[in-house]
Chains A and B, each alone.
Chain A
Amino acid sequence: MTAQAVNKSAIGSTLVELKSISKHYRKGKEKVNVLNELNLTINRGDFLALMGPSGSGKTTLLNLLGGLDKPSSGELIIGGARLDQMSNSQLTRWRAQNVGFIFQFYNLMPVLTAEKNVELPLLLTNLSSAQRKKHVAAALSLVGLSERADHYPNELSGGQEQRVAIARALVSDPQILLCDEPTGDLDRTTADEILNLLQTLNQQQGKTIVMVTHDPRAADHAKTILNMDKGRLV
């Protein structure tokens, strides 16, 4: 099945291509199909919301797009790279260079300050310490948290923590931002602030964003909304 995203505005060239992607797990002797023959194209600069009931395969799809998991069959191409053919170590390197992750529960390192958390992905680059600091400062400034650089996660509000997580996702300038329920743990006002920030990143920085959400109001901030059910796009 091919599901072409419903565009809300003009978008660029193809960044992500999924061709007949299937994913299944073994649960004892039983084979559980999570994704079935999925075809999908995502263009550069798109802001895609993936919606659907629990167990529909949204997070599995996000994991495949982020190189955290490999498809059981099919072709998965992102920025010209065949993820389905990569080894685990190749996927690790690819993730470091191409993807920014934003999680529902922020997943910041509690023992590190906001600044040090944001610096983490840059340790995998060849940047000097001074250059890393410069990039970190820019990323924190972009999410409006320059003043909180020295604060630990437990000294920040949920919204601020998520902003730090966004800064961490952005700091290495990835091709694609993958967000798994980024507002699921936030109140409405804070959630709107985060969604507006993502929208700004998409519109002003041209970041391609794929966001998994249950929340229709969150999905409204996306340019494209896709619904999934039982491992298929509907």
Chain B
Amino acid sequence: MYYLYFIMKNLGRKKVRTILTCLSIVIAFLLFGLLRTLGSAFDQGAELAGEDRLVTINKITLIQPLPYNYLTKVKMLDTVAIATQSNWFGGYYQEPRNRFSQFAIEADDYFSIYEDLYSLPEDQMKAWKANRIGVVIGKALVDQYQWKIGDRIPLIGMFPQQGGNTTWEFEVSGIYEAKTKGAETNVMLMHYSYFDEARQYGKGTLGWMIIKVKDKNQSELVAKQVDALFANSAAETKTSSEKDFTKSFAKQFADIGFITSIILAAVFFTMLLVAGNTMTQSFRERIPELAVLKTLGFADATVMWLVLGEAIFLSVVGGLIGLLFAWLIVAGAADALAATLPGLMMTMDVLIQGLLFVILFGIVTGAIPAIQGLRLQIVTALRSRR
């Protein structure tokens, strides 16, 4: 306890300097908490991806559709448990800034394939299937737009209807919920049959296929099998695991993980220089005092730990405050951003990484003065005071 008291007293001798250094550490770890959380929110889709699910897209690009009969052929494969398909609708509600995801799908197979992630009450499923223009929406959309079952929702779509009208009207038949924390509930699902029948062009095509394999250990083999089915055809396919697909899809916008890592590296490098310089300056000012400690019989290692302890203590205090603020901000913003960044929360992984970085930051910033403290020669150091 005495040593902790001594460390705190030493940090308190230049209060302004200590507070400013601590603030810089707070900012560094606040950014760490926020950016890492953002990065992991973008990666969350990949984390939730099933190991037994594959995604098949047009080999040229995701935007290019595939013939619908591909799905029939894939369903016939012995190695496939379920196969379904999905289509990008690309609409918005009332004005372009109200964009969210809408997929045209086939209700039974879609919910079967994602039974681990989503649930829809049976009566709502029944009502939805009976309603041609029915849609089911996730809880995040309910929270954002206050929609409820029975509401009519006009969407301005990317695809015109047969008469050229781009406004599509839907009716909310059900509200699905996520079974797993982090699963996206900001998506509207409509019937493919209605979408395909009503759209002006692209009929008889699908956007991508989602395949659930019978044996997850054979996923790679099934992927090759699927692509082989359509090799040398007009629309060759590219099949990958759902995880790889989600990651590459996210990277189409930006490699968030890479960007956040670069920003954090720059922030921490700068902060290391600032805090390291402060610790070294603080050490230099106290060389005679540390020499006196050694004179009294304190071991070289004890003096080293006292110096290092100050750096670690400062880093722990600043780091914990920074991570706490980050947690509060994320918790406060999670609901507001639920539609655009579902599952935004500071995960235990981010917290543990943050705590490890806090200790590492303290060790690195205190390392040079600590080693100098270890090597401090009493006679030389005391002579400097005479």
Of B288, B295, B386, chain A has the most CB atoms within 10 Å of the CB of B295
Cross-chain contact B13 with A124 (CB below 8 angstroms): no
Chain B contacts of A89 at CB under 8 A? Answer: 299-300
Chain A contacts of B385 at CB under 8 A? Answer: 105, 107
Chain B contacts of A105 at CB under 8 A? Answer: 385-386
Chain A contacts of B5 at CB under 8 A? Answer: 116
Chain A contacts of B292 at CB under 8 A? Answer: 101, 103, 107, 109
Cross-chain contact B297 with A97 (CB below 8 angstroms): yes
Cross-chain contact B379 with A92 (CB below 8 angstroms): no
Question: Does any Cβ of A come within 8 Å of B131's Cβ?
Answer: no
Interface residues of A in 91-110 (CB under 8 A from B): 92-93, 95-97, 101, 103-105, 107, 109-110
Cross-chain contact A123 with B10 (CB below 8 angstroms): no
Chain B contacts of A72 at CB under 8 A? Answer: none
Q: How many residues of A contact B (CB 8 A)?
A: 28
Chain A contacts of B10 at CB under 8 A? Answer: 111
Q: Mark B1-36, 1 if CB is under 8 A from A, else 0.
A: 111011001101100000000000000000000000
Chain B contacts of A109 at CB under 8 A? Answer: 6, 289, 292
Given contacts A69-B379, A109-B289, A111-B13, contact A123 B294 (CB under 8 A): no
Cross-chain contact B9 with A120 (CB below 8 angstroms): no
Chain B contacts of A95 at CB under 8 A? Answer: 295-297
Beta-carbon nearest neighbor of A66 in chain B: B295
Query: Closest approach, in angstroms, between the C-beta of A32 and any C-beta of chain B?
Result: 14
Cα separation A89 to B303 with both chains bound (whole Å): 13
Cross-chain contact B297 with A121 (CB below 8 angstroms): yes
Cross-chain contact B296 with A63 (CB below 8 angstroms): no
Cross-chain contact A121 with B296 (CB below 8 angstroms): yes
Given contacts A68-B378, A104-B386, contact A124 B300 (CB under 8 A): no
The interface residues of chain A, by DSSP majority, are classed as helix
Cross-chain contact A124 with B298 (CB below 8 angstroms): yes
Cross-chain contact A93 with B288 (CB below 8 angstroms): no
Chain A contacts of B379 at CB under 8 A? Answer: 63, 68-69
Of A89, A103, A111, chain B has the most CB atoms within 10 Å of the CB of A111
Query: Closest approach, in angstroms, between the C-beta of B203 and any C-beta of chain A?
Result: 81
Query: Closest approach, in angstroms, between the C-beta of A122 and any C-beta of chain B?
Result: 9
Query: Closest approach, in angstroms, between the C-beta of A26 and any C-beta of chain B?
Result: 14
Interface residues of B in 353-386 (CB under 8 A from A): 378-379, 382, 385-386
Instruction: From A69, A101, A129, give the contact of B296 (CB < 8 A).
Output: A101
Instruction: From A88, A104, A110, A120, give the contact of B293 (CB < 8 A).
Output: A120
Interface residues of B in 173-204 (CB under 8 A from A): none
Chain B contacts of A97 at CB under 8 A? Answer: 297
Interface residues of B in 69-117 (CB under 8 A from A): none
Chain A contacts of B13 at CB under 8 A? Answer: 110-111
Chain A contacts of B2 at CB under 8 A? Answer: 116, 119, 123
Cα separation A89 to B301 with both chains bound (whole Å): 10
Given contacts A92-B297, A105-B385, contact A112 B289 (CB under 8 A): no
Query: Closest approach, in angstroms, between the C-beta of A171 and any C-beta of chain B?
Result: 10
Given contacts A107-B292, A107-B385, contact A124 B297 (CB under 8 A): yes
Cross-chain contact B295 with A68 (CB below 8 angstroms): yes
Chain A contacts of B300 at CB under 8 A? Answer: 88-89, 92
Query: Closest approach, in angstroms, between the C-beta of A181 and any C-beta of chain B?
Result: 9
Q: Mark A63-87, 1 if CB is under 8 A from B, else 0.
A: 1001011000000000000000000
Residues of chain A at the chain B interface (Cβ within 8 Å): 63, 66, 68-69, 88-89, 92-93, 95-97, 101, 103-105, 107, 109-112, 116, 119-121, 123-124, 129, 168
Q: Can you add 6 more A-B contacts, CB < 8 Å, to A66-B295, A107-B288, A168-B296? A: A69-B379, A93-B297, A107-B289, A107-B292, A109-B289, A109-B292
- 16 A-B residue pairs with CB within 8 Å: A69-B379, A89-B299, A92-B298, A92-B299, A93-B299, A95-B296, A105-B386, A107-B385, A109-B289, A109-B292, A110-B289, A111-B9, A112-B9, A116-B2, A121-B297, A123-B298
| Closest 3 pairs between A and B when the two form their complex, measured CB to CB | A96-B297, A111-B9, A107-B292
